[in-house]
Amino acid sequence: MLKHQAIAAKLKNYIEEHDLPHGAKLPNLTTLMELYGTSKNTMMQALKNLENSHVVYQVQGSGIFVRRRQREAYTPLFQNTAGFFGNFHEHIKHQVLAFEKILAPPDVAQNLKVTSKDSVYRILRLQILDGAPFCLEESFYVVALVGELPKSVASTSIFSYLRQQGLKIGFSDKYFDSVLLDEKQAKALELPPNSPALRLEDIYYLNDGQIFDYSRTYCQAKFFAQSN
């Protein structure tokens, strides 16, 4: 094991043993160099390893912070969702089923790290592939972070719009598992209730580590079975 790998492993163990939460600030680079008795280049390599492993994130001018711990009973995705969808992504069209500003439901508030008194945009979109329902996507955006969203952006790329407005989008956590669709989800996807589906959950962060979007997407299992 190379020195920077050994240091990365020690720092990861420290984070886990002390159960440091998401957003906990670690010592600065100089202090870490002193603690682990290593050079700047080696320490930077160790931190880069931890960034690539989704253990920490760095904010220029602010410091080094702990990333959200992995969930139990979920499989993490260490690639972007577009890559996971493969060639499907280029051909997907969106139909907006709901666009509303609401108070964050408890489970949504927990994922967004806000309170139930905070306002979020709830956007429900049907993803259509070759004229047929493909996935049902439900997204929640923190109003205090994204500002006022015009309804028209819901049928296009919301992230492109946010970037144009100056929002600095950073990284994301992605998980998937298999579920059975409830009646409303199944109806939107033109399937019988309790049909199997692949559920993707995405948590998106700004460059400074604040969570601005939580999304859950339910996709017909047959598309992925056919693609394998």
Per residue in 44-74, pLDDT (tens digit) is: 999 999 998 889 998 888 899 998 766 554 4
Q: What is the dihedral of CA 54, 78, 177, 208, to 10 degrees?
A: 40
Query: Is the pLDDT reported for residue 203 higher than 80?
Result: yes
Same domain, 163 and 219: yes
Vertex 71, ends 122 and 104: CA angle to 5°? 20
25/85 same-domain check: no
Residue 121 sits in the same domain as residue 48: no
Edge-to-edge order in the sheet of strand 119-129: 75-76, 169-180, 196-206, 211-220, 132-142, 119-129, 92-103
- Residue 27, classed as helix, strand or coil, is coil
**pLDDT: which is higher, 174 or 149:** 149
Measure the CA–CA gap between 88 and 131, rounded to whole angstroms. Answer: 13
192 shares its domain with 82: yes
In this structure, the number of other CB atoms found within 10 A of the CB of residue 89 comes to 14
What confidence tier does 97 reach under pLDDT thresholds 50, 70, 90?
very high
25 is in which domain, residue-wise?
Answer: 3-66
CATH code, 214: 3.40.1410.10
Mean pLDDT over all residues of the chain? 88
Same domain, yes or no: 139 and 203: yes
Residues 80 and 166 in one domain: yes
pLDDT of residue 78: 47
Q: For a pLDDT cut of 70, what percent of the chain falls above it?
A: 88
